[in-house]
A and B are shown apart, each in its own frame.
Chain A
């Protein structure tokens, strides 16, 4: 049982750390934009693959 509790804590902490990293890296800075971007075609919203004409 101790193992299960420890595993739960570790998994939870891992999730927390990932989320904190995501916030820190600015992924939550533009929620409206994120909501809109999902509607766009694949390459349009991706800065690493700009749609060059």
Chain B
């Protein structure tokens, strides 16, 4: 989308500050390194009216402060010239809220880290200072208490708040035993210190909080990155259109369009809403709507659905439905149904938590009862029960999943894949069936001259001379085949028909069959060229398969995944592409509803399906699939419906994503086993009262370290 080129008015994105300066925020896509940062900040900073430009590489937000002369369209044009895509960004509350949550977690983490270091300094003196006298020991314990109690209570807030929230609804989660362990260990330690005995867990309590917060913060970073991806997609959808107001045109957001409005669409623009062609017809590229690879002609009065791209003459479209109602109602329902289905998916971490919470509670109670039954005093029994709660506290479990996921998504991000949610990776690891769309997914969605070999170079050059004057997709495909060259003089374009220029033997014509006076027998993508009275020459175009598709399909087959192709296109081109890609299983002329039905059938048979598609007709299927991926060139709605979006223009990262997902799953399971082994060893010792506070702290730290190191095996800097 090149907003700058459509010369729309962007002043509504400017905001004025009380001190007279003007600010403008833009989201920049594709900036990932120091070079990009310098290029963008310098390039935009040098524009008139810009006082400062600062790019946040993590969120992609470019914050510009300037004077009244600040021109947003200049900024976007400059970004475009620098090779980046930028869209105006309306400062919503969500970004600030994310930043606030991140800061709060970081605050807690820092407090816990300081508390841990301090408390350890004090308690280590006790554990190793064997001949310390009782008064000094008491003093050190009280000092440790003054540091660790406030530090733990402050830094434990995220757990306490979350535990309280679920307890109010009579449910439980992982944060309930965590909060319990934190509070009980502090209480037990205070009580023991007052008694003058040695079972004091001040260091363990605050370290527990620190390790768990580390996991929580990693999880936040992960979600933040996923939300960032979603935000980019949303911002890219804030399409601006030109609406007719009297005799003028005004720029409005697509979301503000109402039925009855008229909007102007020029060649290359995509309509964001459903509408009717009012005064005259045009040629439309429906590939995103139906999957058809060839532009079709629509006459005045024809209905046009959202997502159609104008390829012919500029038209006025009468809006018939608002943006949110513009997709076929079925499709919207499908999207909703798919989302609900996915919310039922239970991630590995949640499954672990469900098993873990009752297990810990029962074990601690059993230890308490056991010691009481064995005749120990209540204080002794309670101490051992609380020790069990402390040593089983799931720091390693809390780190097991986020550490792996952050390493995996970081690596995928580097390879060009946006992962929109953490559990999408888990779901991707489970697939056994992959369904691909054809146009724009397996193919480039771009027409290429097929019969170049049969056409005389001189004819091709003459035809290209005419074609260079046009922006029609077929003309551009012809130019691409012919290469650089001069434009014929005096070319006139008749929208929907073709081009004409004076030649030596009369008029040269390039266009559809009727334009060149022939009757077309085949309904395909072709151009005809006629030089005066000479025989017309036919140029045949067809969609090209992506060069990497065949290899990717073979790679998936090798991994035991059944590959299938569903397309809305007719069966001749579909069969040809399926054969070229090596897909034996394919189905042509499949509408959006049938695509969704097919996915439902597969799911009913117990298959876990990966859906890859780019068109509006795929959105429902994308939402219904077990996991879905949209190529970077996909429609907004498909990118919104999909779990992952490929950033680049190739499909090959898809196999890599699958491999990383499987590896991540393996690492998560390994981590659970490690954490489980640690608990299996620690619980009996703690239950028997053999665990000293020093051992508890050491075991906790080492198991967390082990789990994190294991996760780092997936880190971005490692080769696969």
A32 touches B57 (CB 8 A): yes
A36 touches B42 (CB 8 A): no
Q: Does B52 contact A (CB under 8 A)?
A: yes
A51 touches B55 (CB 8 A): no
Give the chain B neighbours of A48 by CB distance below 8 A. 52
Distance to closest chain A CB from B383 (angstroms): 28
B46 touches A40 (CB 8 A): no
Residue-wise, chain A 24-53 has the 8 Å CB interface mask toward B (1 for contact) of 101011111100110111001101101111
B45 touches A5 (CB 8 A): no
Assign chain B's interface to a size class.
Answer: 20 to 34
Q: How many residues of A contact B (CB 8 A)?
A: 30
Quick one: closest B residue to A33, CB to CB?
B57
Binds A, one of B107-115, B274-282, B391-399, B452-460: B107-115
Task: Find residues 32-80 in chain B having any chain A CB closer than 8 Å to their own CB.
Answer: 33-34, 37-38, 41-42, 45-46, 50-59, 65
A20 touches B37 (CB 8 A): no
Give the chain B neighbours of A32 by CB distance below 8 A. 57-58
Distance to closest chain A CB from B73 (angstroms): 20
Q: Does B666 contact A (CB under 8 A)?
A: no
Q: Does B147 contact A (CB under 8 A)?
A: yes
Q: Does B84 contact A (CB under 8 A)?
A: no
B103 touches A30 (CB 8 A): no
Cα–Cα, bound, A44→B59 (Å):
20
Distance to closest chain B CB from A2 (angstroms): 9
Interface class of chain B by DSSP: helix
B57 touches A20 (CB 8 A): no
Cα–Cα, bound, A45→B86 (Å):
20
Cα–Cα, bound, A30→B32 (Å):
12
Distance to closest chain B CB from A25 (angstroms): 10
A24 touches B103 (CB 8 A): yes
B52 touches A47 (CB 8 A): yes
Cα–Cα, bound, A8→B54 (Å):
39
Cα–Cα, bound, A50→B51 (Å):
7
Distance to closest chain B CB from A31 (angstroms): 7
A16 touches B37 (CB 8 A): no
Give the chain A neighbours of B59 by CB distance below 8 A. 30
B45 touches A19 (CB 8 A): no
A-B contact pairs, 9 of them (CB 8 A): A8-B118, A12-B114, A19-B110, A23-B106, A28-B106, A29-B102, A33-B55, A44-B38, A44-B42
B residues neighboring A (CB under 8 Å)? 33-34, 37-38, 41-42, 45-46, 50-59, 65, 99, 102-103, 106-107, 110-111, 114, 117-118, 121, 143, 147
A residues neighboring B (CB under 8 Å)? 5, 8-9, 12, 15-16, 19-20, 23-24, 26, 28-33, 36-37, 39-41, 44-45, 47-48, 50-53
